[in-house]
Chains A and B, each alone.
Chain A
Amino acid sequence: AQSVSQHNHHVILSEAASLELGCNYSYGGTVNLFWYVQYPGQHLQLLLKYFSGDPLVKGIKGFEAEFIKSKFSFNLRKPSVQWSDTAEYFCAVKGDYKLSFGAGTTVTVRA
């Protein structure tokens, strides 16, 4: 069975600070990895995805993530956050068809 662990439940930071959200997964086979974002009151939107190739993936809104196979990790980063990045962030892993989500990390950016 596949599972996802997100390290932080709630992160609070100031605008222009750098952000890194940890994500570890467990799955024995080839995985597809995703980061989704959920803005307050909205549905999940895809930030970025990894299927194969370059382990450093760039997504929308200046986000990037690095797949480190040896560590079973897929951490999300953004060098300089904005107030509009306040949202909940979900890491997800898909082994066969099933998308398993982490518990989510709430990010609050203070102006």
Chain B
Amino acid sequence: DAGVIQSPRHEVTEMGQEVTLRCKPISGHNSLFWYRQTMMRGLELLIYFNNNVPIDDSGMPEDRFSAKMPNASFSTLKIQPSEPRDSAVYFCASSPRTSDYEQYFGPGTRLTVT
């Protein structure tokens, strides 16, 4: 199994630009999670999808952030417009189901907004 796939691995962009992060969960997993990791705040859950439906987006910092999951094998996290404080590592994780299973993490996307 290829594991959770994220792209790009690194993204450098200028403030104000739109950024799109992509995630392909492990085949057969029906839960998908987006996390953000920073030195100041650690690992934070941004949004959680179950069966392609957003269940909890309370961790999304503000309206500049949006996430979609058009099908079971693909999700995007978009930041528009981006700001320097969005610089972080963004992880996607998937799980076979929400209970009694661990989450499998992707390699992350390191985002730098200048």
Give A residues with C-beta under 8 Å from B: 32, 34, 36, 42-46, 49, 51, 90, 96-104
Rounded to whole angstroms, the CA-CA distance of A53 and B106 in the bound complex is 29
A/B pair count, beta carbons within 8 Å: 42
Choose the segment among B12-20, B43-51, B62-70, B78-86 that binds chain A (4+ C-beta atoms closer than 8 Å).
Answer: B43-51
- Closest chain-A Cβ to B82's Cβ sits at a distance in Å of 22
Count of chain B residues with a beta carbon within 8 Å of a chain A beta carbon: 21
Cβ-defined contact, A45 with B42, below 8 A: no
Task: Tell whether A46 pairs with B108 under 8 Å between CB atoms, given A97-B31, A99-B45.
Answer: no
Contacting pair A34 B91 (CB below 8 A): no
The contact string, 1 if C-beta is below 8 Å from chain A, for chain B 7-36, is 000000000000000000000000101000
Partner of B105, one of A45, A97, A98, A104: A45
Contact B102 A49 (CB under 8 A): yes
Chain A residues with CB under 8 A of B104? 46
B residues less than 8 Å from A101 (CB atoms): 42-43
Expressed in whole angstroms, the minimum distance between the Cβ of B50 and any Cβ of chain A is 7
Residues of B within 8 A of A44 (CB): 91, 93, 105
